[in-house]
Structure 1
Amino acid sequence: MPPSKGARLPPRTGSAGGLHYLNMRDYIAARITAGELKPGGRLPSERDLQAGAGVARGTIREALFQLEAEGVIYRKDRSGWYVSPPPVVYDPTRWDGFMSYVKAQGRSPSTETLSKTAITCDAELAEVFGKPVGSPIYLIRRRRYVDGRAVLVERIAVDPSMAPGVLAHDLDRSLTSILKSAYNISVARNRVEMQPCALIREEAEALRVKSGLPGLSVIRTSYDAQGRVVEFDREFWRHDALKISVDIGLS
């Protein structure tokens, strides 16, 4: 991989004359910033990066892991490293569902149902729905995509007494639309909580990321006009896939 005109190899450092991984990180980032490596495009292989820079394979990997942690690049299984596409802009004060606000930004959304089952309420779900521990509840687990890339995995709890048989529906569609059309249930209020998290275990596996990478946890509790909980949704987002933007007017 010869040096490009838009980005130069950083100076050699260290007693062995090799590049520090942060120097290599800066070099790759400069090529992305210059537009030589474009969003969604594949990076040169680790072997080509190593040959072009003349550094140890471990140095290349450390640089790539650093850029991944920053959200600049991401990995595809058995395919290599890619430049991260622009994040989806999300305004938690708006009522648009995932499919709507992703489409409105000229992107292509899709949903994959991973599992749907009837379970019993643990202490957390019992408190959320105001039911005794052990009460029946529906649990839906889905993975959602933007432009074919998995960006979030979610677990949605729904009260069977409000939507009996909802698990029989095609849940790759909008659940909000199903509840409204099939059960005449409309959401009148949302409470949204967001906080940084680490993507571990099944969330990391579902999003095909290295366990421990940063993510964003979004918990949404949806209520109908009578104050009943319609959905309890816990989402885990890739940290590079979402940008929070809120437009607040002052009176």
Structure 2
Amino acid sequence: MMVTPPQTILITGASSGIGKALAVSYAQRGKTLILVGRDVRQLEEAAAECRSFGATVEIGAIDVRHAEKLCEFILKMDRQYNVDLLIANAGVSAVVSEGEIMESVEITASIFEINVFGVLSAVQAIAPQMCTRGKGQIALMGSMAALRGLPYAPAYCATKSAIHIYAESLRASLNKHGVSITLIVPGFVETPFNAGLSSPKPMALSAKRAAAIIRRGLEKGKCEIVFPRLLYFLIRAGSLLPARLVDAILARIPVENLR
């Protein structure tokens, strides 16, 4: 089902990677982009590029872990512009390199604060406003890493699994108020973080290509946007294999953070 193109789009994690690519994809005259990110310099660069295409751009240099500040900013922007589409994209990961046992408590907590509670804060700020208006779209950035735990990124996989269930849970309850929920499930995308990993990245797509797929899916009002589908089906098929066998295969994959 095609939906009315959004005029005001709020994107978290918009200073680089998929978030920035999405912002540029939507940037055109008549569109208002509200970009949230931690890195002020990168955020301003993204905003300048979007403005060059004629878009109106507001920025919020905010760490999504600061829930109160994030909510205040979102509500302020919504009062001013009426947000049509929220893309809760902000997310981080970490790598358990060879020789390490697991992620530290501090790193694990930070990943959960950003990937889960940062998403919840953004959604909980805007959803009631959209429901009151009886319209709106919310897109949550999941990952194929949510489909099967990876030994080198346990916290990341766990957080994305939480986002998948959260999106599924919200969908029916918000739909009856006129607000649609879309879960985005990408495979490997060429982002600054992934560029620093020495590991296989099968079927990796550029951030620009990923943004085009996501935008097209949102315009069609899809409940889930999954890409690349071949990788998705392969991971699903792998779930039919004995867990010990899959564990052994994954444990043999060398992964290092080169930064």
TM > 0.5 between the two?
A: no
Who wins on radius of gyration, i.e. which is larger? Answer: 1
- Flag the structure with more relative contact order, 1 or 2, with Cα contacts below 8 A and sequence separation at least 6: 2
The structure whose residues are more often strand, as a share, is 1
Q: Normalising by the residue count of structure 1, what TM-score does the alignment of the two structures yield?
A: 0.26
The structure whose residues are more often helix, as a share, is 2
